[in-house]
Amino acid sequence: MHRCLIPTLISLALLTGCATSPTGRSQLVLMPESEMKQMGLQAFTNIKKETPVDRDTNANRYVDCVANAITREVGGNWEVVVFKDDDANAFALPGGKIGVNTGLLKVAENQDQLATVLGHEVAHVLSNHSNERVSQTFAVQQGLGLINALASPQSGTGQTVMGLLGVGAQYGILMPYSRIQESEADLLGLDLMAKAGFNPQESTVLWRNMERAGGGQPPEFLSTHPSHGTRISSLRAHMPVALRLQQQARERGKRPACK
Ligand SMILES: [Zn+2]
């Protein structure tokens, strides 16, 4: 019986197993994109059930303005929701879903700092980081079972999968991205926000503010090392590239003014 599975596993691995991240790193990516999207949608549904949505017009207009400028650079349809939650956190999910907590709006002091966080989160999605984590944690044979697990997020597997998607904090389970993934999201996110015309130099201010705000459940983007100093110095090292990208964006008329 088991022998029948092997050709399927091998062809699945050949089809989707070997991928390259946007920074050129080779990745183990076993889940089909369609299933990752399904998982993202299911996770977003779960969060919306558990967390009140903020309908405040000004907050929504501001967050939409920043998020749309970022997602315009990557294409696709994205849904953006503001959640009433004091934790300074945000997330992006495969399938084009973005969540921003009201608590983040108190720590990110301006549009450029908010763009830093959203660029970072969208970069995790573009880099297939959750696919990589799911692939490393579960064997392919789990496959569709993971989507079913998400349908009951209170189950052990359901919580683990939420954690792997980067939204586990909502369920009291924090599963940090790897250091490599975090650095990748930082640099790719910086390019992304700069290409949208935001000021990349605000990124280092944001990470300092985040650290100062600290306390409580650490958000996804502070939950793992790179240590704070390392993160800021690699952003600084990449700053000349990002500033050039911002300059080009502004010459093309991309001058976001989100308030
Ligand atoms: Zn991150």
> How confident is the model over 156-165, as pLDDT tens digits?
888 888 888 8
Strand ranges, E, within 97-255: 97-101
What pLDDT is stored for residue 244 in this prediction? 98
Judge whether residue 109 has pLDDT over 50: yes
Residue 16 has pLDDT above 60, yes or no: no
Give 5-67 as a DSSP string.
HHHHHHHHHHHHTEEE-TTS-EEE--S-HHHHHHHHHHHHHHHHHHSPBP--HHHHHHHHHHH
Separation between Cα atoms, residue 169 and residue 159, nearest integer Å: 10
How far does the centroid of ligand 1 lie from the alpha carbon of residue 150, in Å? 21
Cα(98)–Cα(87) distance, rounded to whole angstroms?
Answer: 16
User: How many helices and strands, by DSSP H and E, does the chain display?
Assistant: 11, 5
pLDDT, tens digit, for every residue of 50-85?
899 999 999 999 999 999 999 999 999 999 999 999
pLDDT tens by residue, 17-50: 678 888 888 888 888 889 899 999 999 999 999 8
Residue 117 has pLDDT above 80, yes or no: yes
CA-CA-CA-CA torsion sign (224, 227, 232, 233): negative
Average pLDDT over residues 211-234: 74
pLDDT tier at 14, thresholds 50, 70, 90:
very low
**Higher pLDDT pick, 68 / 149:** 68
CB-count burial class (<10 Å; 0-12, 13-18, 19+) for 166: buried
Choose, from 35, 73, 121, 184, the residue flagged as catalytic: 121
Q: Is 121 a catalytic residue?
A: yes
Residues 6+ apart with CB under 8 A from 154: 171
Q: What is the mean pLDDT of the chain?
A: 86
In DSSP terms, 27 is beta-bridged to: 19
Distance from Cα 122 to the centre of ligand 1, integer Å: 9
Q: Any idea which of 1-10, 123-132, 213-222 has the lowest mean pLDDT?
A: 1-10
pLDDT at position 215 is 57
**42 CA to centre of ligand 1 in angstroms:** 20
